[in-house]
A = this chain, B = another copy of it.
Amino acid sequence: MTVAQEVEAANAQYAASFTKGNLALPPQRKVAIVACMDARLDTARALGLEEGDAHVIRNAGGRVTDALRSIVISQQLLGTREIIIVHHTDCGMLTFTDEVIRGKVRAELGQNVDHIAFLPFGDLKQSVLDDIKILKESPLVLDVPVTGYVYEVETGKIVKVE
């Protein structure tokens, strides 16, 4: 059984009691979240988001450089006016370097991925500060409130980085 089949069964239950079919396309709380793809982080539950509230952009590390296309669409076409960044403790991005993963892809898949910046980091807090700075300085991003957090996978808490 694939996870897809399990997901179909779970979705049938969700849809059976679904009552939110009239929500508007633009996020009601006018915010875009940029968070890591990590399995332990449930952005909706951990941040108190309901369906319709917020754009949720997620990638390996929650890196903003890899979220720029989505942020521009979010702000220019769908009216979001705040950004929240969430990185987290015990992140996989702390465990490798571009050199390591490029070597692994070359060995496992026979492919050269020297053209991909995988965006790992060595310092968690600094990775949040770096991403805030990138957004603040990008000419493609509006001058909106940007707040960065470290989510603690051990405690469920977010800790503001400043």
Residues of A with Cβ closer than 8 Å to B? 2-4, 6-15, 18, 20-21, 23, 25-32, 37-60, 66-70, 72-74, 76-78, 82, 84, 90, 92-93, 95-96, 101, 104-105, 108-111, 113, 116-119, 139-140, 142, 145, 147, 153-158, 160
CA distance A153 to B52 in the complex (A): 10
Sorted from nearest, which 8 A-B pairs have the closest CB atoms?
Answer: A10-B48, A18-B156, A4-B147, A27-B39, A15-B156, A60-B70, A3-B31, A15-B157
Chain B residue nearest to A116 in the complex (CB): B69
Give this chain's copy count: 2
Is B74 a contact partner of A51 (Cβ separation < 8 A)?
Answer: no
CA distance A140 to B4 in the complex (A): 22
For this complex, 26 residue pairs linking A to B, each with C-beta atoms less than 8 Å apart, are: A2-B147, A3-B31, A4-B82, A4-B84, A4-B145, A11-B48, A13-B48, A15-B155, A18-B156, A21-B154, A28-B39, A38-B55, A39-B55, A40-B51, A40-B52, A42-B44, A42-B51, A56-B58, A68-B116, A69-B117, A72-B105, A72-B118, A73-B93, A76-B101, A76-B105, A77-B104
